[in-house]
Chain A
Amino acid sequence: MSLTRRGVVTLAATALLLAGCGSSGEETPAPGGSAAAQEKVTVEWWHIQNIEPMQPVWEAMAKEYMAANPNVTINITALENEAFKAKMTTVAQSGESPDIYQTWGGGVLQQQADAGIAKDITADIASWADTITPAAAAAYKLNGKTYGVPYDIGMVGFWYNKALFAKAGITAPPATWTEFIDDVKKLQAAGITPLSLAGKAKWPGHYYWAYLAMRIAGLDALKQAAAAKSFDNPDFIAAGQKLKELADLKPFQNGFLGANYDTPDGQAATMGNGKAAMELMGQWAPTVQKDTAKDLGEDLAFFPFPMVEGGKGSATDAFGGGGGFAVGADAPPAATDFLKFILSAENHRKEIATGALLPVIKGTEDAVTSRTGKMVADTLAQATDFQLYLDQAYPPAVGQQVNDSVAELIAGTKSPEEVVKAITETAQSE
Chain B
Amino acid sequence: MTIVLFILPALVLFMLLVLAPIALAAYSSFFKWNGFGLFPTNFIGLDNFTRLLEDEVFLGDLWRGLLLIIFSLVIQLPLALAIALLLNQKMRGRAFYRLLFFMPYVLSEVITAVLFTMILSPERGLANELLAFVGLESLESTFLSEPSTVMYSLMIVMTWKYFGFHMILYLAGRQSIPNELTEAAQIDGATPWRVFWHVTLPLLGPTIRITIFLSVIGTIQLFDLVYVLTGGGPVHASETMGVTMYEFGFKRFQVGYASAISVVMFLLSLVFAIGYQRFVMRRDTEGAITNMRAKR
Contact across chains for A255 and B247 when beta carbons are under 8 A apart: no
A221 to chain B minimum Cβ distance, whole angstroms, is 24
Query: How far, in whole Å, are A211 and B230 apart by their CA atoms in the complex?
Result: 27
A89 CB–B CB distance under 8 Å = yes
**Residue pair B123, A275 in contact (C-beta under 8 Å):** yes
Q: What CA separation (Å) do A49 and B183 show in the bound complex?
A: 68
**A to B contact number (C-beta, < 8 Å):** 102
A275 / chain B contacts, CB cutoff of 8 Å: 123
| Chain B nearest CB, measured from A122 CB (Å) | 22
Q: Is B292 an interface residue (CB 8 A)?
A: no
Residue-wise, chain B 29-71 has the 8 Å CB interface mask toward A (1 for contact) of 0000011111000000000000000000000000000000000
**B145 and A199 contact, CB distance less than 8 A:** yes
- Which of B82-90, B165-173, B204-212, B231-239 lines the interface with chain A? B231-239
Given contacts A89-B250, A408-B235, contact A254 B36 (CB under 8 A): no
The answer on a CB contact under 8 Å between A95 and B36 is yes
Q: Which residue of the partner chain A has the closest CB to B120?
A: A258
A200 lies within 8 A of B253 (CB): no
On chain A, the number of residues with a Cβ less than 8 Å from chain B's Cβ atoms is 40
Any chain A CB within 8 A of the CB of B104? no
Rounded to whole Å, the gap between the CB of A140 and the closest CB of chain B is: 19
- Complex contacts, A397 vs chain B, CB 8 Å: 252-254
Q: A3-B2, A4-B2, A400-B247 are in contact. Are A111 and B36 (CB under 8 A)?
A: yes
Distance, CA A85 to CA B247, complexed state (A): 12
Does B123 contact A200, Cβ atoms closer than 8 Å?
no
Q: Are B145 and A7 in contact (CB under 8 A)?
A: no
Which residues of the partner chain A approach B122 to less than 8 Å between Cβ atoms? 254-255, 258, 265
| B251 engages A396 (CB within 8 Å) | yes
Is B255 positioned at the interface, with any CB of A under 8 Å from its CB? yes
A26 at the interface (CB under 8 A from B): no
**Could you say which of B1, B123, B146, B247 contacts A257, with CB atoms under 8 Å apart?**
B146
- In the complex, A13 Cα to B117 Cα: how many Å? 56
CA–CA, A4 to B6, complex, Å?
11
**Are A258 and B144 closer than 8 Å at their CB atoms?**
yes
Which residues of chain A are within 8 angstroms of B118 by Cβ–Cβ distance? 264-265
Pick the residue among A4, A92, A95, A199 that contacts B233 (CB under 8 A).
A199
Task: For chain A, residues 240 to 270, give those with C-beta under 8 angstroms from any C-beta of chain B.
Answer: 253-260, 263-265, 270
Q: Are A400 and B252 in contact (CB under 8 A)?
A: yes
CB distance from A270 to the nearest CB of B (A): 8
**A255 B117 Cβ-Cβ under 8 A:** no
Give per-residue flags for A211-229: 1 if the beta carbon is below 8 A from chain B beta carbons, else 0: 0000000000000000000
* Residues B147 and A263 in contact, CB atoms below 8 Å apart: no
Nearest neighbor of B232 in chain A, beta-carbon distance: A200
**Residue interface bits A59-87, CB-to-B below 8 A is 1, else 0:** 00000000000000000000000000110
Assess whether B123 is in contact with A114, with CB atoms less than 8 Å apart. no
Q: Nearest chain-A residue to B254 (Cβ)? A: A397
Within 8 Å CB of B117, what residues of A? 260, 263
Given contact pairs A115-B37, A258-B145, A200 touches B252 in the complex (Cβ within 8 A):
no
Would A411 and B235 count as touching, CB distance under 8 A? yes
Evaluate contact between A396 and B252: CB separation under 8 angstroms.
Answer: yes
A281 to B117, CA, bound (A): 23
Q: Which applies to chain A's interface (DSSP): helix, strand, loop or mixed?
A: helix
Task: Name the residue in B118, B123, B142, B230 with the highest tally of chain A Cβ atoms < 10 Å from its Cβ.
Answer: B123
* B187 at interface, CB cutoff 8 A: no
Contact A89 B37 (CB under 8 A): no
Cα–Cα, bound, A280→B81 (Å): 50
Question: Which single member of A89, A93, A115, A253 contacts B123 (CB below 8 Å)?
Answer: A253
Minimum CB–CB distance for B38 against chain A, Å: 6
Assess whether A413 is interfacial by the CB under 8 Å rule.
yes
Q: Which residues of B contact A413 (CB under 8 A)?
A: 147, 235
Q: Once the chains bind, are A255 and B5 in contact (CB under 8 Å)?
A: no
Are A92 and B35 closer than 8 Å at their CB atoms? yes
Q: Does A380 contact B (CB under 8 A)?
A: no
- Enumerate A196-216 residues with CB–CB distance to B below 8 Å: 199-202
A285 interfacial by beta-carbon distance below 8 Å: no
Of chain B, the residue at the smallest CB distance from A253 is B123
Most buried by B among A257, A260, A270: A257
Question: Which residues in chain A, 258-296, are within 8 Å of chain B measured between CB atoms?
Answer: 258-260, 263-265, 270, 275
Q: How far is the CB of B69 from chain A (nearest CB, A)?
A: 24
Contacts of A400 in B (CB 8 A): 247, 251-252
In angstroms, Cα B251 to Cα A260, docked, is: 17
Whether A114 contacts B36 by the Cβ 8 Å rule is yes
Chain A residues closer than 8 Å to B5, beta-carbon distance: 4, 7
Query: How far is it, in angstroms, between the C-alpha of A374 and the C-alpha of B147 when the chains are bound?
Result: 40
A407 at the interface (CB under 8 A from B): yes
CB distance B230 to A92 under 8 Å? no
Supply 24 A–B pairs (Cβ within 8 Å), ascending by A: A85-B251, A89-B35, A89-B250, A89-B253, A95-B36, A112-B36, A114-B36, A117-B36, A199-B233, A253-B123, A254-B123, A254-B142, A255-B146, A257-B146, A257-B233, A258-B122, A258-B143, A265-B121, A395-B253, A396-B251, A396-B252, A397-B252, A407-B235, A413-B235
Known: A199-B145, A413-B147. 17 other contacts (CB 8 A): A4-B1, A92-B36, A95-B37, A115-B34, A199-B233, A200-B231, A255-B142, A255-B144, A257-B145, A257-B233, A258-B122, A258-B145, A258-B233, A265-B123, A265-B125, A397-B254, A407-B233
Give A contacts to B, CB under 8 Å.
Answer: 3-4, 7, 85-86, 89, 92-93, 95, 111-112, 114-115, 117, 199-202, 253-260, 263-265, 270, 275, 395-397, 400-401, 407-408, 411, 413
Q: Lowest 9 CB-CB distances: which A-B pairs, in order?
A: A258-B145, A255-B122, A115-B36, A257-B234, A255-B145, A255-B142, A397-B252, A258-B144, A265-B121
